[in-house]
Amino acid sequence: MATIAPTDFEPIAPPSKLLALTEVPRALAEWGALPWAAPLLAAAPRGDGHSVLVLPGFLTTDASTGTLRRYLARLGYDVHAWELGRNLGPRAIGREGEHLVARLQAVHDLTGNTVSLVGWSLGGIMARLVAAKIPAAVRQVVTLGSPFTGNPGATNVRRTYEFMTGQRMDDPHTRAQIEEAGARCGVPSTAIYTKADGIVAWQNCREEEGPVSENIEVRGSHCGLGVNAAAMYAVADRLAQPEGAWQPFRAEGWKKWLYP
């Protein structure tokens, strides 16, 4: 995967305004469809009890990941919220991500075992950043609609992001962090994305596939990824991979069942 040059971003356009305007109703529909997908979700592999730290998206809190965390807990994982309040970028995790690093280290120290990171949108970028800083504490990274590569300006919330976080996209420090997040994690990583994303360009949410990295496409909205049945199943399947014996995802059965 080509890293981002220090002076130029890739020429990728933001999603259409129509997709952006339909984000909320589409997300609500995905949440409402969960009961119908219960048989699929129940068929996901059981967890082995290892710790999972779930990071929320931009402007959201741990409340937004409640459905996903409860689901993973029912599968047998030791699930943890990020406990850093509202996700306001560096205002939440620190300029160098030090608060999130400390949170990850605390979860790691509870068991002495590696921790899986699941990050939604901005939370996924942060997950990749902290995985690069302390890879020895991380088992794997799973991102949901996280624009960690390409052009970070290809989003319909750029101005809101810069205003709320105080972090400008064209700042050299920001660019360095984007490049760090876009590089290989050093641990197994899965990027889950949707081409119907109305918030960020889906092209930015993919990575170069390799022996321990992959991309999984689902149908849905950006704001609904945390309650999207296909995405939830994919997260569960990836977390169930034995440590040190990672295998690529196989979509044939569940995707045909969910999207006939």
Does 192 fall in a domain? Answer: yes
Does 40 fall in a domain? Answer: yes
Does 87 fall in a domain? Answer: yes
Does 6 fall in a domain? Answer: no
- Segment 236-250 mean pLDDT: 90
In the predicted structure, residue 106 carries a pLDDT above the cut 90: yes
What's the pLDDT at 150? 87
| Beta partners for residue 120, in sequence order | 144
Does 219 fall in a domain? Answer: yes
Task: List the domain range (segments joined by +) for residue 23.
Answer: 17-258
Does 11 fall in a domain? Answer: no
pLDDT band, residue 250 (cuts 50/70/90): confident
pTM (two decimals): 0.92
- Segment 49-69 mean pLDDT: 98
Pairing of strands 78-81, 115-120: unpaired
- Segment 46-62 mean pLDDT: 97
Q: If 0-12 CB within 10 Å is exposed, 13-18 middle and 19+ buried, where does residue 256 land?
A: exposed
CATH code of the domain covering residue 185: 3.40.50.1820
CB 210 within 8 A of CB 185: no
Does 39 fall in a domain? Answer: yes
Q: How many distinct structural domains can be found in the chain?
A: 1
- Segment 143-147 mean pLDDT: 97
Does 97 fall in a domain? Answer: yes
Cα 212 from Cα 188, distance rounded (Å): 5
* DSSP collapsed to 3 states, 129-172: HHHHHCHHHEEEEEEECCCCCCCCCCECCHHHHHHHHCCCCCCH
